[in-house]
Structure 1
Amino acid sequence: MASESLSLQLEVLGKAFIRMIQMVIVPLVFPLIVLGIAGMHDTKKLGRVAVKTLVYFEVITTVIIVIGVIIGKITHVGAGFGAVATDPSYLDNLQKGIDMHNFLLDIIPSNAIMSMAEGKLLPVIFFGIFVGLALVAIGEKGKPVIELFEAWTQAMFKVIEYAVSFAPIGVFGFIAFSVAKYGVSSLLSLGQFVAVAYIAFLVVALVLLPLVAFIFKVPYISLLRNIWDLILLSFTTRSSEVALPLLINRLEKFGCNRSITSFVLPTGYSFNLDGASIYASLAVLFISNAYNVPLSLGQLATIIIMLMVMTKGLAGVPSAVLVVLLATATEMGLPAEGVALLMAVDFFVDMGRTAMNVVGNSLATVVVANWEGEFKPNSVATEKVSA
């Protein structure tokens, strides 16, 4: 009993590690966005990269949502589960839906400094784009600011190195806490959903994304080898934000142009959440089957369209994917208790979901860079593939 209490207290180690990384995210992402835009030199290139990026995000996440629905139908995930008495009070504090009107307005910060303080990436990216454009417009006068940001980003990367040295301690704290709090036996009843979710993650990671990489001539295996430790880090900490600053640096070393990486990767954290997309589609099918609420083809099409739109706003909404799931389930007449039920195993699914987000956004960055002719594979990466 005392050991269990101690294990629960060790969560503070994991949270401390997460905060050490989080404190660098906005101070790093903002200047990188500015430098990325300023480095493009012309607005035509920026517009071209933005269009390619958003089109890629929309197509890939839509395909992933469809895959999730297909896997859910094939496996009949949740079927025979029976109506389980679950306390929906877990959902009382969740935002009950996503107001797209407010979401779009929130992208434009009324106070850029406040958005930075609150860690809201979309407003920070929006503001950074305009600062970058302004620096391009004023030409030589903007060079001192660019040089300052160059030095600042190098300092932030050094801070990240310091923080990462505490990673083993932080991960140990999270694992000890998770085992003590959730156990294993009490969660076995929902093991079917967890298993199917991981099968879906593997289908995307080992079938869809390699196909995409082949089409765009991206060395997918080499990419995974170069970021495997960051995938593992995001998996164990359940935080893709932890990997963001490290990924920006890693992908640049992998061969991606900095201006592309600095724009695509942070944007992907809001618009290209592959793991969240497949989870949401699977979860809706699970709730439908668990509560024996059949869905017609028209309803399945509606679910796909709803998730296509709503999964693009995850970064700006509290409770993220659970809010999207709740809104979709409610719209389709599915019981809110089903969402509360899935929260019991969300810890386990969230690990794979987060890692999948990191893999998807890493590939997206390399794809767009290669699409623009701004990807020059690092010789070390090439050696790893041939080895």
Structure 2
Amino acid sequence: MAKRLTFYILIGLLLGIVLGLVLNGWLDDGTPAAAARLKAIAGYFSIGTTVFLRLIKMIIAPLVFATLVSGIAQMGDTSALGRVGARAIGWFLGASLLSLGLGLVLVNMLRPGVGINLPLPPVTADAGVATAGFSLDKFITHIVPASMVDAMATNEILQIVVFSVFVGVAITAVGEKAQPLVRGIDGLVAVMLRITDYVMRFAPVAVFCAVTATLAERGAGVIGQLAFFMGSFYLALVILWGILLGIGFLFIGGRIRALVRYIREPLLVAFTTASSEAAYPRMLEALDRFGVPPRIASFVLPLGYSFNLDGSMIYMTFASLFIAQAYGIAIPLGTQIAMLLFLMISSKGIAGVPRASLVVIAAVLPVFKIPESGLLLILAIDHFLDMGRTATNVVGNAVASAVIAKWEGGLDPAEPAEIAVAAVPAPPHGAPDSFRDIGG
């Protein structure tokens, strides 16, 4: 059962915490040799996490392509596609401004950086985080794939979305002649969802390895050093969750509580692995069971992974102003609003970039005369912060998918939240009979 897999993931999380802290307490005597040993041990444990994430990356490109093309084909006309796309982008922009603005308000209220009093570093100092590649012209041209094979090989989700939209629209325009291709793509969806089931059985081991590696190398002390900043940020995430779910309640009513129950497994996977990609396949299945038509989820979710990173957004303003506070740099409100708008624009190119939030922050800090080397203050705990913001990204995209489905004619009847892990996932609502035959 899916419920059993969630239980195993929690067990993996708890065992990873215990073993990681035990290894750190046993081997860490404060010497460079001990630190090297712990880093080596963490590297061995990280093998499990790396293998799991590679398995996820293996299925992401064909899964996004197949589900998106199938969903567009089911829409039946390009006007519906344009309407869904416009509503999705409008929601994403609103959610991004909300997240950035909330981060700005809360960091000014809580002031977690005040009192740290870091000395201003030399002008030439930097945090060692690459900042190249964040310009509007590069981002716009990068959206269009030069090669679909290259886009799939590198898991460029936004490029795969663009190509899939072209394929789906062309299938709709061709009509009856393209039906054999549609049936083949529906079959590919069923196969990829079955592979997803196989891959997800490895999730508890991956979670155990990820947590063990992190705590073994860094210990609990790294959390205590910046506990107030971490606590303030997680409080901000809780408030953002409440706002997002509250807005969702306005549109879909009491079913918003059920939505949280349906997405708990992908949410837990995202939190423990700090990877949105790891949660993507299960998110598609969870939203389908909840009642979001696959034609909506398969289109909105990939777009959300590029444009609707609510957790990353709130982190950018929170962390940027925290660093300014730590250096004792006073930033006027007008400049803070300008920073918010600057982050709003520059963050739209971060999908698929490792530690993307840090890269954007590193690019933005010098613009507003904040020392870039201040990033070193939060690098040590960034993994723990990334866990929270990744889970928040999942919640934001789940709410967006449900609301847009409501706008597009309503949610389908819900299926049971817990399904057999070994079973073939239920075919999308409204899928052709051929899809159901393949799934059976």
Per the normalisation by structure 2, the TM-score is 0.83
Q: Secondary structure at the match of 2:370?
A: coil
Output aligned runs, 1:137-148, within 5 Å.
137-148=173-184
Output aligned runs, 1:186-205, within 5 Å.
186-205=222-241
C-alpha displacement of 1:317: 4.1
Q: Name the residue aligned to 1:385.
A: none
Deviations, residues 283-340 of structure 1 (Å, cap 9, x unaligned): 1110110011111111011011112212222105454111211122111110011122
Q: Name the residue aligned to 1:36.
A: 71
**Does the CA contact (< 8 Å) of 1:98 and 1:317 recur in 2?**
no
Q: Name the residue aligned to 1:73.
A: 108
Amino acid at match of 1:23: M
285, 289, 299: which one pairs with 1:253? 289
Amino acid at match of 2:148: A
C-alpha displacement of 1:89: 7.5
Q: Secondary structure at the match of 1:375?
A: coil
Deviations, residues 98-142 of structure 1 (Å, cap 9, x unaligned): 111110111111111111101100010000000001101111111
Amino acid at match of 2:251: F
Deviations, residues 223-260 of structure 1 (Å, cap 9, x unaligned): 11111121111111010100101111210111011110
**Does the CA contact (< 8 Å) of 1:40 and 1:46 recur in 2?**
yes
| 1:164 equivalenced with 2:200 (yes/no) | yes
Deviations, residues 68-101 of structure 1 (Å, cap 9, x unaligned): 0000000112001121698997743513461111
Q: Name the residue aligned to 2:84.
A: 49
Distance in 2 (CA, whole Å) between partners of 1:126 and 1:234 is 25
Q: Structure 2, unaligned stretches of length 5 or more?
A: 1-26, 28-33, 418-440
Alignment RMSD = 1.9
Q: Secondary structure at the match of 1:298?
A: helix
C-alpha displacement of 1:214: 1.9
| 1:217 equivalenced with 2:252 (yes/no) | yes
Q: Structure 1, unaligned stretches of length 5 or more?
A: 382-387
Q: Secondary structure at the match of 2:205?
A: helix
C-alpha displacement of 1:210: 2.2
Distance in 2 (CA, whole Å) between partners of 1:144 and 1:188 is 59
Distance in 1 (CA, whole Å) between partners of 2:314 and 2:121 is 24
Q: Secondary structure at the match of 2:263?
A: helix
Amino acid at match of 1:109: P
Q: Percent identity?
A: 36
Q: Which has the higher helix share?
A: 1
| 1:295 equivalenced with 2:331 (yes/no) | yes
* Structure index of larger Rg: 2
Q: Secondary structure at the match of 1:162?
A: helix
**Does the CA contact (< 8 Å) of 1:109 and 1:115 recur in 2?**
yes
**Does the CA contact (< 8 Å) of 1:8 and 1:181 recur in 2?**
no
**Does the CA contact (< 8 Å) of 2:113 and 2:322 recur in 1?**
yes
Q: Secondary structure at the match of 2:252?
A: coil
Q: Name the residue aligned to 1:344.
A: 380
Output aligned runs, 1:1-387, within 5 Å.
1=27, 4=38, 5-83=40-118, 91-96=127-132, 98-206=134-242, 208-218=243-253, 219-315=255-351, 317-378=353-414, 380=416
Between Structure 1 and Structure 2, how many residues are aligned?
380
Q: Structure 1 375/235 Cα, relative in aligned 2: closer, same or farther at 3 Å?
A: same
Deviations, residues 187-235 of structure 1 (Å, cap 9, x unaligned): 42222211111000000112x1122112212422111111112111111
Amino acid at match of 1:137: A
Q: Structure 1 84/30 Cα, relative in aligned 2: closer, same or farther at 3 Å?
A: farther
Deviations, residues 27-62 of structure 1 (Å, cap 9, x unaligned): 100111111111111111111101100000001110
Of stretches 192-201 and 316-325 in structure 1, the one that deviates more from structure 2 is 316-325
